[in-house]
Structure 1
Amino acid sequence: MSRARNPRRLTLVAASAALLTLAPIGVTAAHAQVTRVRQGSATDASRTAWSGPAYTMNGSGGIVTATMSRAVDAIRGGTGAIDVVVVAGSGSGTPECDVITPLTGVNSCTTLTLTAARDGNDSQVNTDIRNAEFVYFAGGDQCNYVAWKGTALEVSVESVVAKGGGVGGGSAGHHVNSDIVYDACTASATSATALANPYDRSLTFTTGMFRWPNYADTINDSHFVTRDRMGRTMAFVARAVKDGRTSGGRAWGVGVEEGASLYIDRNGLATLSGPSAYVVLGDHQPEVAVSGQPLTYTNFKIWKLTSGQTYDFANRPTCGYYLKSVRAGVPDGSLYSGTPVTDCSSTPPPSGGSAYAEVEPNDSRTAANVITALTYPATVTGDMKSSTDRDYFALTLASGQTLTAACAIPTAYDADLYLLSSNGSTLTRSVNDGAGTDESVTLTRTASGSATYYLDLEAYSGSGAADYSCTLTRS
């Protein structure tokens, strides 16, 4: 919920006598920092195989019974019952389990309230999670949740998905389930603040916690329309692309409205229950994303979902979006609606351009990746897999055409950019110092006819799996 607190979690009640009033079958305390309330059966369900994974991504903290029931049914394959764990970072109530426990196919629901980072290594907490088939992260403060990165809890939750169970969350719990987490650990960002300066102190992110199958390169946002968060999600997406946080130079914001929930099945197909949800794609480098300056990013592709509509995260669509831009921090009007593109088969998308991810080995001109078929502006991505890596890309320029290549380099390494002639001579280069320092070159062909040129990106120091992303324009 991005730092805003859920009122039911404002008061901590640690006394066991108070907790006993919450659960009919008893309560145990793992240690002073953890409270545990179990409802339903005292004995875990036992089965050798489950039929998930399944996910619920909720725009506010409460359980949406339509998607929760669907996830429970998918995981149990229509028979038997599952155990559910609700993980919270504060509070003493059990509102999620109060709704979940009576659902068909639920054997038990256990609320675990963890109030310190070290609680992620609590033995009882991890036993409960590993024995469950669904883990739901409650609303609250996602900065508390990302503190569990690297603890046993992270691995335990991943084991639930791996055995065919599922995960979900609402508000802050929705945030923590995306590939890139807006963690709100310094302040809560507004759309106005984020667009005015995408590097404002309130825009902080955690990566490398959870990456669910079919859900890579995503950034979740909640309370989406009610709190007017489209602008800040645009800034989140632009930052993810600019900072090299994604695996292919593209990022998808997933904004879910209050009361809405996305159910995502084992094949990556998301179906919306409730008012609305939005998928916001940034598929090229931002034109301007600099600390202290307003954002400029043209042609975000936005899919709007209403109740019953679907979005395929495994095979992400190339049509059905509408376009919105931000220029000097000022977004287009009517961000939450637009005329969708419905046919991309006969004409290029209105934003133009295409993308290419490097294919190794491309370490010489003779092994260069051929990108002559790309439409412009184009995006080329890859990585410096070793400190001696060189990536070559072959393209053509006609007489009078000007090529500009602007490469965003991740902080894992320092790379230099060269533009070579067809015989390998260096025509221009960019060799700025420092890991994470961007490089760019520009060249106009003045000779008659067309010719082949090579972009050559070379590791100068360092290496890693983080992607560079080069935006190519030709005029």
Structure 2
Amino acid sequence: MPPTPMRRLVRWSLAAAMAAGAVTAVAPPADAAASRIRLGSTSDVTRPAWNGPAFTMNGSGSVVTSSMTGALDDIRGGSGSLDVVVLAGSAPSSGSKTPECDTIMTLSGVNSCTTWTLTAASDGNNAQVNADIRNAEFVYFAGGDQCRYAAWKGTALEASVELVVAKGGGSGGGSAGLHINSPLVYDACKGSVTSSEALANPYNRYITFTTGMFAWPNYQNVINDSHFVTRDRMGRTMAFVARAIKDGLTSNGSAWGVGIEEGGSLLIGADGHSTLYGKDAYVVLGDHQPEQASAGTPLTFRDYKIWHLSPGDTYDFAHRPTCGYYLRSVVSGTADANLYSGTPQTSCAT
């Protein structure tokens, strides 16, 4: 039977798409958990060496083009192109199914960008997912639910992302993707905690952590937090830091919280030196045991050291500064006023 006009149209459309190599979609069976959409070249770049690692830590889920461009340039040494994989725990409810890749494909030096939407913990062992990650030079974790990402701990996916970083590539993410990129992860697996709840009880049932997943160079003893000023999360980061020290989740009796505002992004290079883009960020250091941190009791922790970073400011995670901070305390669950601004105790210029 000769092809109908509709069949001819479908056949022509598929042929044109394959010839262009611009979009490749792998449609899973109806009961499958993983889906794949690739933009750009259908072939991966091959190169013997890369110049990273580099990391982007974003306060909200969207890609920040300035920091992403910097990370990709660092990794490729300013020449050639590379491949990016975006990992998401759920598909966007509306609009483009590949919002991060849509932005990344506009940047210089990008050969391809592949979005994988993975909705089951077992997807971390999907062979095609891991092949794509291992062939990439940058892995970006989208916003969403960091508990889904924490469920990939111990799967092949964890090892694949670590391989990308080890070969001189990079990792990053925003919102939930920011959380999963710190060595101590607030996983929110039992729900999201507010600052007032966390300060009133640092062992609130909504405060749960994942440890032992990603441990990036120069970023030890850190717990990330997102949407920082907009959602008033300084208080809960203070509680996270106190918990980390009290429970021995970090080493040397210290813990650093890194809170990034929506639209902000820290670009961290291979040497641990970081530059802030977009919006403000905060580094919160606890360097002693909390005076009071126990279940059902309000937190007391005096003299957190806080660095307030504005766009363009730098912070060296390899050689962490001992100057330029202001002090704030929490006593019986009540935090000092003006948590987000203060006069530095000492100037790093002196």
Task: Give the TM-score, by structure 2 length.
Answer: 0.91
Deviations 1:54-81 (A, max 9, x none): 0000000000000000011000001100
Q: In the superposition, relative to structure 1, how do residues 283 and 306 fare at CA in structure 2: closer, same or farther (>3 Å)?
A: same
More displaced, 217-226 or 24-33?
24-33
Q: Are 2:161 and 1:157 aligned?
A: yes
Q: Secondary structure at the match of 1:26?
A: strand
Deviations 1:246-292 (A, max 9, x none): 02110000000000000001100110001200000000000000100
Tell me how far apart the structure 2 counterparts of residues 284 and 150 of structure 1 sit (CA, whole Å): 32
Q: CA deviation at 1:110?
A: 0.1
Q: CA deviation at 1:29?
A: 4.0
Q: Are 2:241 and 1:229 aligned?
A: no
Question: Which of 213, 229, 233 lines up with 1:209 in the alignment?
Answer: 213
Q: Secondary structure at the match of 1:108?
A: strand
Deviations 1:419-447 (A, max 9, x none): xxxxxxxxxxxxxxxxxxxxxxxxxxxxx
C-alpha contact (below 8 Å) 1:189/1:232 kept by paired residues: yes
Gaps of 5+ in 1: 1-16, 347-475
Name 2:71's counterpart in structure 1: 71
Tell me how far apart the structure 1 counterparts of residues 206 and 315 of structure 2 sit (CA, whole Å): 30
1:221-300 equivalence runs, <5 A: 221-300=225-304
C-alpha contact (below 8 Å) 1:250/1:284 kept by paired residues: yes
Tell me how far apart the structure 1 counterparts of residues 156 and 320 of structure 2 sit (CA, whole Å): 32
Q: Are 2:171 and 1:173 aligned?
A: no
Tell me how far apart the structure 2 counterparts of residues 267 and 66 of structure 1 sit (CA, whole Å): 19
Name 1:315's counterpart in structure 2: 319
Name 1:25's counterpart in structure 2: 23
Q: Are 2:332 and 1:334 aligned?
A: no
Deviations 1:310-339 (A, max 9, x none): 010000000000000000000000000011
Percent identical across equivalent pairs? 67
Tell me how far apart the structure 1 counterparts of residues 64 and 348 of structure 2 sit (CA, whole Å): 35
C-alpha contact (below 8 Å) 1:30/1:124 kept by paired residues: no
Letter in 1 for 2:25: V
Question: Which of 113, 128, 132 lines up with 2:132 in the alignment?
Answer: 128
Higher strand share: 1
Q: Are 2:56 and 1:59 aligned?
A: no
Q: In the superposition, relative to structure 1, how do residues 287 and 24 fare at CA in structure 2: closer, same or farther (>3 Å)?
A: same
Name 1:81's counterpart in structure 2: 81
Tell me how far apart the structure 1 counterparts of residues 139 and 279 of structure 2 sit (CA, whole Å): 24
Q: Secondary structure at the match of 2:51?
A: coil
Tell me how far apart the structure 1 counterparts of residues 107 and 278 of structure 2 sit (CA, whole Å): 19
Letter in 2 for 1:45: V
Tell me how far apart the structure 2 counterparts of residues 281 and 136 of structure 1 sit (CA, whole Å): 27
C-alpha contact (below 8 Å) 2:22/2:42 kept by paired residues: no
Q: In the superposition, relative to structure 1, how do residues 37 and 345 fare at CA in structure 2: closer, same or farther (>3 Å)?
A: closer
Q: How many residues align?
A: 326
Q: Secondary structure at the match of 1:129?
A: helix
Tell me how far apart the structure 2 counterparts of residues 123 and 316 of structure 1 sit (CA, whole Å): 39
Name 2:186's counterpart in structure 1: 182
Q: In the superposition, relative to structure 1, how do residues 344 and 259 fare at CA in structure 2: closer, same or farther (>3 Å)?
A: closer
Structure with max Cα Rg: 1
Letter in 2 for 1:80: G
C-alpha contact (below 8 Å) 2:22/2:41 kept by paired residues: no
Q: Are 2:224 and 1:220 aligned?
A: yes
Question: Which of 119, 132, 142 lines up with 1:115 in the alignment?
Answer: 119
Tell me how far apart the structure 2 counterparts of residues 271 and 240 of structure 1 sit (CA, whole Å): 26
Tell me how far apart the structure 1 counterparts of residues 23 and 300 of structure 2 sit (CA, whole Å): 57
Q: CA deviation at 1:30?
A: 6.0
Q: CA deviation at 1:343?
A: 4.9
Q: Secondary structure at the match of 1:294?
A: coil
Q: CA deviation at 1:28?
A: 1.3
More displaced, 127-136 or 335-344?
335-344
Name 1:96's counterpart in structure 2: 100
Q: Secondary structure at the match of 2:23?
A: coil
Q: Are 2:197 and 1:193 aligned?
A: yes
Q: Secondary structure at the match of 2:75?
A: helix
Tell me how far apart the structure 1 counterparts of residues 275 and 348 of structure 2 sit (CA, whole Å): 23
Letter in 1 for 2:225: D
Q: In the superposition, relative to structure 1, how do residues 25 and 324 fare at CA in structure 2: closer, same or farther (>3 Å)?
A: same
1:400-419 equivalence runs, <5 A: none
Q: CA deviation at 1:245?
A: 0.3
Higher RCO (CA < 8 A, seq sep 6+): 2
Deviations 1:191-250 (A, max 9, x none): 000000000001000000000000000000000000000000000000000000002110
Letter in 1 for 2:177: G
Q: CA deviation at 1:309?
A: 0.1
Q: In the superposition, relative to structure 1, how do residues 30 and 211 fare at CA in structure 2: closer, same or farther (>3 Å)?
A: farther
Letter in 2 for 1:297: F
C-alpha contact (below 8 Å) 1:142/1:175 kept by paired residues: yes
Letter in 2 for 1:56: T
Tell me how far apart the structure 2 counterparts of residues 174 and 30 of structure 1 sit (CA, whole Å): 28
Any runs of at least 4 consecutive aligned residues in structure 1 with deviations exceeding 4 A, and if so which?
A: 343-346
Letter in 1 for 2:90: S
Letter in 2 for 1:49: A
Q: CA deviation at 1:102?
A: 1.7
Q: Secondary structure at the match of 1:240?
A: helix
Tell me how far apart the structure 2 counterparts of residues 70 and 30 of structure 1 sit (CA, whole Å): 34
Tell me how far apart the structure 1 counterparts of residues 41 and 229 of structure 2 sit (CA, whole Å): 39
Tell me how far apart the structure 2 counterparts of residues 114 and 134 of structure 1 sit (CA, whole Å): 18
Letter in 1 for 2:42: A
Q: Secondary structure at the match of 1:201?
A: coil
Q: CA deviation at 1:342?
A: 2.1
